Chain A
Amino acid sequence: MKHTIAVTGLHSGENPQPGVGVIRSLRRRYPDLTIIGLVYDVLESGIYLEECADVVYNIPYPAAGSEAVLNRLEYIHAHTPIDVLIPTLDAEILAMIQLQDVLEDSGIRMLLPTQESVNTRQKSELPDLVSACNVQTPRCRKVVDVAGLLAAAEEFTYPMVIKGPYYEAHKVDTQYGLLDQFYALMGRWGAPIILQEYILGPEFNVMAVGDGTGNTAGFCAIRKMIVSLQGKGYGGIVIHDETLNAASMALIEHLQWRGPCELEFIQDECDGTVYLLEINPRFPAWVDFPSTFGFNMPALVIEELLEGGMKPLPPCDPGYFYIRHTADITCRVEDMGQLTTFGEWECRSHRDLPEIENERGQHGNTVLYTADH
């Protein structure tokens, strides 16, 4: 398949973004694709990863406004025509929904939910959503100032959880910790801030691709086996649990979800109640894990947009598990310089670089700068 797919979210640091996993999955199914990496920062790790993007362009943050984003995408499209764009970051989704029609007119297709679906699953709206779907969510309050925060905190007991509107959730044990995190989250993400009762127990994530009519073409549920200090799943095992499946399906059906999403749940270890924590409007960072044993959900996006429709996947096999492993990538400063200076960079494989000898006669693979630089 000689199509070109653009993917965002290439950083795989402490809080890994899904872009690299999406690209890996796509390459498993479609080895001939041209992949464009769209990045916000020259230090997004996936830029320099072998067999990831073929070409990388920087793009402005969504906060720069839809016109700035559109102008940049049109420039990129003129140089490297894009068939499909897969945004993978929460903060991009609403901006891309607004640009969807104009981009489609240019030939750039996306598989996105409606704005109403996205707004309905916002963290601050979860109580209304779950009540319509016969699902539970932890008690929560949205606050926009310190007075509201302290008043809401009176309704809970410590520890409690404080969350930003898009990212981050922190367990706090004291009022000092609560205020500290409130100011930090307000500074990073703005209002509203969510205050939520603390539930202790195993955490579950569900990845799905909705068809926009209430059905899913792909579905995979995992229990987090390793949880990082930031609450990220650094290991997960595929499970099959009827309660979790029914809750997920009810939510996706109610939202008429179109495109990828991730649902996060926690089970109260005392009484077994399953609570919905949040719904993310994009693929999760572990997106490539099910693709390694045949459940390729990014490929469903391509099927829907370029091949006339998704071919629904069977239920995911329980028992597979993943463990996240970090590795160091060797990069060259002139590559970063190219991207910094020109905003675009055609990636090359490190294996293509000639091996050279350094001063000690040892073999390295490159010289960064010669003397006359």
Chain B
Amino acid sequence: MNTTKLRELLMNEHGFAFDQSTGYTYNVNAVGVEILRWLKQGYDEKTLVQRLIAEYDVDPVTAQRDLDVFLSALQRYGLMPRNTEATS
């Protein structure tokens, strides 16, 4: 997954994030903070699902569904390229 833009995102431990290039700010919940940290570390989608299952005691279907929703929100806000634009 292309996380170039995400790596430039400034975020505190409470989930308040600031995009320096657009000036937009975001609020992310605790699970979102974890996912963003994992994304910045370069985890792929399969690993992300496994981590969610392990850390939050959810079933695989729920983990995958919630991750899809979160990634799609990141794409909608221009923080990740859409699937068709993904290069890495």
Contact = CB atoms under 8 A, between A and B. Distances in A.
Interface of A: 202, 222-223, 225, 236-242, 318-319, 321
Interface centre among B18, B21, B22, B23 (most CB of A within 10 A): B23
A319 B21 contact: no
Contacts of B58: none
B18 to A, nearest CB: 6
B4 interface: no
17 contacts: A222-B23, A223-B22, A223-B24, A236-B23, A238-B23, A239-B21, A239-B22, A239-B23, A240-B20, A240-B21, A241-B21, A318-B18, A318-B20, A318-B23, A319-B10, A319-B20, A321-B23
Interface in B12-69: 18, 20-24
A237 B18 CA distance: 11
Given A241-B21, A318-B20, A319-B18, 10 more contacts: A202-B22, A223-B22, A236-B23, A238-B23, A239-B20, A239-B21, A239-B22, A240-B20, A241-B22, A318-B18
A319 B23 CA distance: 7
A319 B21 CA distance: 10
Contacts of B18: 318-319
Task: Describe A's contact surface by its main secondary structure.
Answer: strand
A236 B22 CA distance: 11
A240 B23 CA distance: 8
Nearest to B18: A319
B21 A242 contact: yes
A223 B18 CA distance: 13
A90 to B, nearest CB: 26
A360 B10 CA distance: 57
Q: Which 6 A-B pairs have the closest CB atoms?
A: A223-B23, A237-B23, A318-B20, A239-B23, A241-B21, A240-B20
A223 B23 CA distance: 6
A240 B21 CA distance: 5
Nearest to B8: A240
A222 B24 CA distance: 11
Contacts of A237: 23
Nearest to B10: A319
Contacts of A318: 18, 20, 23
Nearest to A319: B18
Contacts of B21: 239-242
A89 B24 CA distance: 31
A222 B20 CA distance: 10
A242 to B, nearest CB: 7
Contacts of A240: 20-21
A140 B21 CA distance: 28
B82 to A, nearest CB: 13
Nearest to A204: B23
A241 B20 CA distance: 7
A121 to B, nearest CB: 25
Contacts of B20: 239-241, 318-319
A208 to B, nearest CB: 18
A222 B22 CA distance: 9
Contacts of B24: 223
Contacts of A223: 22-24
Nearest to A245: B21
Contacts of B23: 222-223, 225, 236-239, 318, 321
Contacts of A242: 21
B67 to A, nearest CB: 26
